[in-house]
Chains A and B, each alone.
Chain A
Amino acid sequence: AQKVTQAQTEISVVEKEDVTLDCVYETRDTTYYLFWYKQPPSGELVFLIRRNSFDEQNEISGRYSWNFQKSTSSFNFTITASQVVDSAVYFCALSEASSGYALNFGKGTSLLVTP
């Protein structure tokens, strides 16, 4: 069963628009971590953020913000004022104590930002 669901396969926006990438996860662990990674066309996965299961505070980093809600098992990612350089595939991932913290990735959301 898919533990991380990214329902949006592809999103296309025009530069300067805000965009939210959805992530829903499933776990029975009380201790777990959630991640977002960015994969540009070069292929390398770039770490963006990690949150642990005990910290539901939202986080903002420049144009990026993350909303973690345990009540809905969601960890959504918002890019404000998108730029062409934001075009990439974005992956949400879950790591659980019960599986030795191996990363369990969603299928990714491909974001295209056009000028």
Chain B
Amino acid sequence: DAGVTQSPTHLIKTRGQQVTLRCSPKSGHDTVSWYQQALGQGPQFIFQYYEEEERQRGNFPDRFSGHQFPNYSSELNVNALLLGDSALYLCASSLGGWDIQYFGAGTRLSVL
């Protein structure tokens, strides 16, 4: 039984570029949440998707957007990258928003 998988593992971009990160949830899960973890900090909630709709959103600008597909996989898009967007981006899946969230290994994004 595959857990949560994220791609790519690492990514290097330059300021102003756009990036797309991908996540496949654990089998049987229908809800995907995204978190940003800066170096030395705890993860910060970006948003959560359920039934292809954004259900909850944290305190992140509109440059951060997402999508959930009918197979429950999800994408995180970040436009107009800033140096401060450099972080580990973690995807978590659950069965419903209230259930235990299981995390993938993350995508490490470096913005130069």
Residue of A33, A35, A44, A103 touching B104 (CB-CB under 8 A): A44
Asked whether, in the complex, the Cβ of B90 is within 8 Å of the Cβ of A45, the reply is yes
Cβ-closest chain A residue relative to B56: A100
Residues of B76-103 at the interface with A, using a CB-CB cut-off of 8 Å, are 88, 90, 92, 97-98, 100-103
Number of interface residues, chain B, beta carbon within 8 A: 25
With contacts A43-B88, A45-B90, A99-B56 taken as known, whether A104 is within 8 angstroms of B45 at the C-beta atoms is yes
Cβ-closest chain A residue relative to B9: A43
With contacts A43-B106, A45-B90 taken as known, whether A105 is within 8 angstroms of B42 at the C-beta atoms is yes
Q: Which residues of B contact A45 (CB under 8 A)?
A: 43, 90, 92, 103
With contacts A50-B100, A108-B42 taken as known, whether A103 is within 8 angstroms of B56 at the C-beta atoms is no
